[in-house]
Amino acid sequence: MSWFKRDKPADEKLPKLENGERKIRTEGLWLKCDGCRQIIWKKDLEANFNVCPKCGAHSRLDAASRLKLLLDGPYETFDQHLTSSDPLGFVDSKPYSQRLRAMQEATNLSDALISACGKLDGRTVQMCAMDIRFIGGSMGSVVGEKIARAIDRAIQLRTPLIIVSASGGARMQEGAVSLMQMAKISAGLMRLDEARLPFISVLTDPTTGGVTASYAMLGDLNIAEPGALIGFAGPRVIEQTIRQKLPEGFQRSEFLLKHGMLDAVVPRLELKPYLAQALKFFAP
């Protein structure tokens, strides 16, 4: 009756791996798109810079991939050694210093921003890209200082500045020191303006809190990716304060564009030619 009973466990029919195990590893190879709910091969999504190949929904992109997308080739990074000194000795569910170390190991970044100088369509630019994975892309002393130094470099070398934001806002664990960065960067951008050099702000999902309240909205051009959450306070806080229901699509890029808060909404894969064109306009 061997045709009736199974003579070998099913997994023994699978090819043997080097360590002698017979398993097919599929974990993490496939993802479900939040836009169309379809299953996508992770490699396909990554090759498309996290834009869904089926419906065009934009997932979040890390800072290094962002620089790879927007800059021509190899680029130079700056201030990679800067780390926070934990000025308040802050402790929430765990000490801030421990949280920083864990984040640095998990992301291989020193803080939530990579500051780079490279070419965009042949033109030298200073580009800062934020990374949402690092404590929610929050802005503390390191992010502030890196941007301030990027502004200084832009003035010194007479290059445009582009900042790609992805941030939950100012970093709570550094309190007032984080808030101070807003003023410091805004003052720097004023000097950039006086030097008649362009600053383009690119807002990606999400850009909120102190980042929106300072540099993300101070660009000569403020452009956003489709569907990005952009705001200062969250919708729940606003609803509770004004005691009114918020309109559909509130705080998304398209809504802000319609109400004059943004200059353009540009899909991620068209962003580089758009920036190149804009820079040509500002500095022919």
* Interacting residue ranges for Zn ion, rule: CB under 5 A: 33, 35-36, 52, 54-55, 57
Distance CA 207, CA 164 (A): 10
Nearer Cβ to Zn ion (35/234): 35
Minimum Å gap between C-beta 41 and Zn ion is 12
Nearer Cβ to Zn ion (183/269): 269
Nearer Cβ to Zn ion (219/227): 227
Angle at 246 between CA 240 and CA 247, to 5 degrees: 180
- Letter for the amino acid at 128? C
Max CA-CA distance within the chain? 89
Assigned token pair, 28: 């993490």
Nearer Cβ to Zn ion (56/87): 56
Nearer Cβ to Zn ion (209/227): 227
Assigned token pair, 11: 């997994």
Under DSSP, the state recorded for 55 is: T
Minimum Å gap between C-beta 224 and Zn ion is 19
Phi/psi of residue 275, nearest 5 degrees: -65, -40
Minimum Å gap between C-beta 53 and Zn ion is 8
β-pairing, 264-265 vs 39-41, is: unpaired
Minimum Å gap between C-beta 63 and Zn ion is 23
Assigned token pair, 273: 């030619």
Distance CA 127, CA 70 (A): 9
Distance CA 134, CA 100 (A): 9
Nearer Cβ to Zn ion (171/252): 252
Distance CA 120, CA 111 (A): 24
Contact (Cβ atoms closer than 8 angstroms) between residue 125 and residue 118 = yes
Nearer Cβ to Zn ion (33/180): 33
Region of 142 please: left (phi>0), alpha (psi -120 to 50) or beta.
Answer: alpha
Minimum Å gap between C-beta 254 and Zn ion is 17
Minimum Å gap between C-beta 54 and Zn ion is 5
Region of 103 please: left (phi>0), alpha (psi -120 to 50) or beta.
Answer: alpha
Minimum Å gap between C-beta 42 and Zn ion is 13
Nearer Cβ to Zn ion (57/218): 57
Minimum Å gap between C-beta 123 and Zn ion is 33
